[in-house]
């Protein structure tokens, strides 16, 4: 008898000896994602909280930012849910760009928003993350919670370790992110857990035009 039976609730914990057939489900998600996005042009992935209401300044700022990216020729990729993700997909449509929602199946919180022109459903977070990273020319980190922090630090780590190519990572919102960045400097840098050069892997910006300019300048020089 299993010590902690999951009853199918936890996808990763469900892997058992003799159940290698589940790998075909994972392969299927990779195939669906790659087939669905292989014709996507220049794009940015925008991360942020699903819990942000349409009335919140973060929502409106993200909508404007996505609209500006769209006007500059970039498609927008989000997690396909509500809050910041919805704002980004909404702004992309308003700007006439492809609006991609990579939705994740969760028992709560995540429901597809109506503004994604391309919707792909995932069960496994790690497959979904590959799609965020593979098809974007920049990663924009709007205010968010644990999921956003996970995406931020995994992206930084993959660039730091040269698992993926270097592209701009922008933390949008000085007031929201400066405490975290100060902690990184005070603890990680001072205790030599990271090198000083690692601080150059990301930008801390507020103005949407500045954010787009950083991405544009980087890609022009590539």
Full DSSP string of 100-147: EEEEE--SSS----TT-SEEEEES-HHHHHHHHHHT-S-EEE-S--HH
Q: Is the residue at 17 inside a domain?
A: no
The whole-number pLDDT of residue 134 equals 95
Q: Is the residue at 136 inside a domain?
A: yes
CA 150 to chain centre: 9
Q: Is the residue at 159 inside a domain?
A: yes
The whole-number pLDDT of residue 2 equals 46
Angstrom distance (rounded) from CA 50 to CA 141: 13
Q: Is the residue at 109 inside a domain?
A: yes
Q: Quickly tell me which residue has 């014709």 as its tokens.
A: 39
Per-residue pLDDT of the chain (222 residues; tens, 9 = 90+): 445 555 556 666 665 655 677 788 899 999 999 999 999 999 999 999 999 999 999 999 999 999 999 999 999 999 999 999 999 999 999 999 999 999 988 766 568 899 999 999 999 999 999 999 999 999 999 999 999 999 999 999 999 999 999 999 999 999 999 999 999 999 999 999 999 999 999 999 999 999 999 999 998 877
Q: Is the residue at 172 inside a domain?
A: yes
The whole-number pLDDT of residue 1 equals 41
Domains: count for the chain:
1
Phi (first) and psi of residue 101, to 5 degrees: -120, 115
Q: Which long-range contacts (CB under 8 A, 24 or more apart) does 193-200 make?
A: 198/156, 198/160
Q: Is the residue at 81 inside a domain?
A: yes
Q: Is the residue at 86 inside a domain?
A: yes
CA 156 vs CA 67, 75, 76, 201, 216: distances in Å: 25, 22, 20, 7, 20
The whole-number pLDDT of residue 15 equals 59
The answer to whether 105 and 78 have CB atoms below 8 angstroms apart is: no
Angstrom distance (rounded) from CA 179 to CA 150: 17
Here the tokens at position 173 are 């919102």
The answer to whether 42 and 73 have CB atoms below 8 angstroms apart is: yes
CATH of the domain at 141: 3.40.50.450
Q: Which domain holds residue 93?
A: 22-213
Q: Is the residue at 132 inside a domain?
A: yes
Quick one: which H or E segment has residue 94?
A: helix 84-94
């Amino acid at each position: 008898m299993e010590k902690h039976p999951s009853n199918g609730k936890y996808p990763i914990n469900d892997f058992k000896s003799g159940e290698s057939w589940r790998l075909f489900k994972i392969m299927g998600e990779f195939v669906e994602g790659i087939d669905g996005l292989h014709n996507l042009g220049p794009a940015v992935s925008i991360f942020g909280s699903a819990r942000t209401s349409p009335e919140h300044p973060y929502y409106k700022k993200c909508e404007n930012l996505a609209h500006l990216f769209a006007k500059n020729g970039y498609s927008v990729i989000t997690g396909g849910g509500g809050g910041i993700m919805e704002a980004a997909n909404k702004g992309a449509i308003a700007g006439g760009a492809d609006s991609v929602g990579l939705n994740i199946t969760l028992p709560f919180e995540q429901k597809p928003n109506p503004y994604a022109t391309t919707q792909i459903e995932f069960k496994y977070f790690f497959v979904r993350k590959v799609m965020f990273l593979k098809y974007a020319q920049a990663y924009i980190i709007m205010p968010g919670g644990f999921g956003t922090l996970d995406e931020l630090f995994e992206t930084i780590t993959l660039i730091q370790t040269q698992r993926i190519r270097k592209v701009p990572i922008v933390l949008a919102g000085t007031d929201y992110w400066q405490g975290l960045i100060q902690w990184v400097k005070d603890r990680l840098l001072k205790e030599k857990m990271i090198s000083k050069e690692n601080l150059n892997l990301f930008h801390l910006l507020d103005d949407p035009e500045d954010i787009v300019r950083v991405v544009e300048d980087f890609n022009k020089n590539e």
